[in-house]
Structure 1
Amino acid sequence: MAANRTILLLSVGHGCVDVYQGAVAALVPFFVAERAYGYAAASGIVLAASLLSSVAQPLFGALTDRRALPWLLPVSTVVGGLGVAASGLGGSYGLTLVCVAVSGVGVAAYHPESARVARIASRGSHTSMGWFSLGGNLGFAAAPLLVTAAVSGGDLRWTPVLVLPALAGSVLCLPVLRVLTDRAAPGTASSSLPEVADDVRSFVKLSVAVAARSVAFMGLGTFVALYARQRTGGGTAAGTAALTVLYLGGAVGTVLGGRLAARWDRVTVVRGAYLAGVLAVAGVVLVPGPSLYGCVALASGCLYVPFSLQVTLGQDYLPSRVGTASGVTLGLAVSVGGIAGPLIGTLADATSLRTALAPLVLMPAVSYLMARTLPEPPVHRLAAPPAVRLRQA
């Protein structure tokens, strides 16, 4: 199978998985409407999906650094889908938290291995990794539409329909698995990586930047649907539109990031995007009326221009621990922001949603300060571990 076809399949599969990260936030307005949850309780649902995922992704990354686990791709896709599909079936808040937490673990298991396989298949190409990341962004963007189509016509008992993308994604993984050879003698991934010193200090700075970016994006993702309804005076459709714009803006930003990195180096692009993100997020919080949607699109683009670039930067800062780097920069980048959700929700319950969202303006500034002193690392050509070598076309 040609490498570009492998990237395409991985990209589409990535989208099928990341539907479930977007679906949790997209379900929040329906939980609020049907079960009368407050802001803090609603954000706790996002936290449940994010917390275990945040802890588990680096652990799965470390595990895949020791041994290739390609079977994780279809299995984790199904687990992620089943958790969200079951989340609307019980009226118990605790059961809902357990279901979305299970989904979060499935998402956590998927990202490190898929990112490593994608990096091997792309031969270190920023553009190819951008397409891989784009698949996830499109999955995010599709989530509000899929959730609305499944739930708004009835009630939360229709959430089992949302398992369909997981089933499709798991099937799409199978051709990729068929081109991975498990016939080589067992060995570790790290033994076939180039012996280059890890730049741990730069990786830690990058991780802080990734975490701050995640707080900003997940904070917007959790509450922008409710906030758009307040600021525009619209109904559920107004909120769904804002969430869709947020996720589509991320898709555009990811593609733009890869193109900009071809002209300038990755760190320069990352710095500029975060600096522009400060103004864009401020616009979301402060601009009233329909203009809010333009600010949401701009903020999302600025926050996602660095997305795929952070993945390859992390891999190049830690060339001997690619799975761990991928687990932090690709997985943790999305999930850790959910941990701040309950704080935002509690503040919103005590004051107003606008006041609670205001601190998000500081997050891109923190990311910029962390990226300001990052060096541009050399691009390491990562060798596939013995159990993950791709057949050439």
Structure 2
Amino acid sequence: MPKNKTIIMLSAGHACVDLYQGAVAALVPFLVAERAYTYAAASGIVLAASLLSSVAQPLFGALTDRWALPWLLPVSTLLAGLGIALSGLGDSYPLTLALAAVSGIGIAAYHPESARVARIAAGGSHTAMGWFSLGGNLGFAAAPLLVAAVVAAGGLRLTPLLAVPALAGSVLYLPVLRAPRTSARPSARGASPAGHDDVASFVRLSLAVVCRSIVFVGLSTFIALYVPARTGGGAAAGAAALFVLYLGGAAGTVLGGGLADRWDRVTVVRASYLLSVAAVAGVVFVPGPMIYLFVALACMGLYVPFSLQVTLAQDYLPARVGTAAGVTLGLTVSVGGLTAPLIGAVADAASLQAALASLIAMPALSWLLLRTLREPTGQ
């Protein structure tokens, strides 16, 4: 397949998968309203979706370092959709947790292999990788709209309709699987530059991604509940805020790829985290409609580094690109999900504003971790 067509197909499939990551947070207000969950209980659903993913994604990455597994793309897409589609049936909290975990496993299986295939198709272009990541951001952005349209119409019992994107995504990947390079053995891939692993830089980058993840998960979990209180709006105001959050992420991803093709990735990533500090503070403390602007800026700042951090990680570990992708797309990102119940507990004990205020320090820590980081040798 031509490179641009392959990237487009991968990006569209990525949207179908990451829709289910966004759907977890989008379901939280409906779970609170329909099942009377507390903040901590509702955020536990986010934890369930993240917990197995955080452990499994690096393991899937290690597998893709040894074997090409392109068949994982359609299979994992179906699994991610199945867990969310069934999560609204019944009112058992343990069953809902288990189904969220099933979706998390599907997401874990998808990302390392998709990053491997996308890196091959991109041919070293940061802009192309940005477009691939954009698909995931658009899936996130569409999640609150799709969930609201489906669940608001008939309650949580209609969540099986959310399986449709998973079916579509699995079909989209069939032409990609026939591309010969996607099935090449690891030794024949040639997707990453030759060189020695820089483990110290990789660890620092990974810790910065952890801090970024905590901010994003905290905002995506609670912004739909926080914005109505700051604007005087209802559930629609919260859904709009979640949409703006994800749309800002989509814009940031495209912007990040273009900026990295003009300047080095590390410089772009550092600058974006400084922007995020001010933007998250605006989300927490600025009242009224202006909060939507700061929500967009916050997620732009958090997502400009997104695809750049994946390729940086792969270049710091050139002999283990699957593991690098599994850690940066999986383990570090999912740690944010592990902190969601803690943020919820602070909100229950104090206030939601106090809980979200603690997030301001996270992008500052990311900047400090990356302050002296260097671009990988040979890039």
TM-score (norm: length of structure 2): 0.97
Determine if contact 1:266/1:309 at 8 Å carries over to the other structure.
yes
- 1:333 and 1:189 map into 2 onto residues whose CA distance is 28
Q: Write the letter of the residue equivalent to 2:244.
A: V
- CA apart distance, 1:333: 4.8
For 1:241-273, what per-residue CA distance to the aligned partner results, in whole angstroms no more than 9, with x for missing partners?
A: 000000000000011111111221110000000
Q: Write the letter of the residue equivalent to 2:145.
A: L
Correspondence 1:43-192 to 2 at 5 A: 43-180=43-180
Number of residues of Structure 1 aligned to a counterpart in Structure 2: 379
- 1:20 and 1:2 map into 2 onto residues whose CA distance is 28
- CA apart distance, 1:181: 6.1
Structure 1 308/187 Cα, relative in aligned 2: closer, same or farther at 3 Å?
closer
Q: Write the letter of the residue equivalent to 2:320.
A: R
- CA apart distance, 1:236: 1.0
Structure 1 226/262 Cα, relative in aligned 2: closer, same or farther at 3 Å?
same
- 2:191 and 2:349 map into 1 onto residues whose CA distance is 54
The worse-fitting range, judged by mean Cα deviation, of 276-285 and 257-266 is: 257-266
- CA apart distance, 1:108: 0.5
Correspondence 1:249-328 to 2 at 5 A: 249-328=248-327
Question: What's the % identity of the aligned pairs?
Answer: 72
Q: Write the letter of the residue equivalent to 1:33.
A: A
- CA apart distance, 1:124: 1.1
Determine if contact 1:251/1:301 at 8 Å carries over to the other structure.
yes
- CA apart distance, 1:178: 1.2
- CA apart distance, 1:335: 2.5
- 1:254 and 1:192 map into 2 onto residues whose CA distance is 21
Q: Write the letter of the residue equivalent to 2:134.
A: L
For 1:69-93, what per-residue CA distance to the aligned partner results, in whole angstroms no more than 9, with x for missing partners?
A: 1100000000000000010002000
The DSSP-based 3-state class of the residue aligned with 2:69 is coil
Which residue of the partner structure matches residue 389 of structure 1? none
Determine if contact 1:61/1:323 at 8 Å carries over to the other structure.
yes
Structure 1 370/336 Cα, relative in aligned 2: closer, same or farther at 3 Å?
same
Matched, 1:345 2:321: no
Which residue of the partner structure matches residue 387 of structure 1? none
Provide the alpha-carbon RMSD of the alignment: 1.6
- CA apart distance, 1:334: 3.7
- CA apart distance, 1:198: 0.4
Matched, 1:3 2:3: yes
- CA apart distance, 1:192: 8.6
Q: Write the letter of the residue equivalent to 1:32.
A: V
- 1:44 and 1:379 map into 2 onto residues whose CA distance is 43
Structure 1 12/352 Cα, relative in aligned 2: closer, same or farther at 3 Å?
same
- 1:87 and 1:373 map into 2 onto residues whose CA distance is 44
Unaligned segments of structure 1, at least 5 residues: 381-393
- 1:206 and 1:288 map into 2 onto residues whose CA distance is 34
- 2:338 and 2:365 map into 1 onto residues whose CA distance is 17
Unaligned segments of structure 2, at least 5 residues: none
Structure 1 81/182 Cα, relative in aligned 2: closer, same or farther at 3 Å?
closer
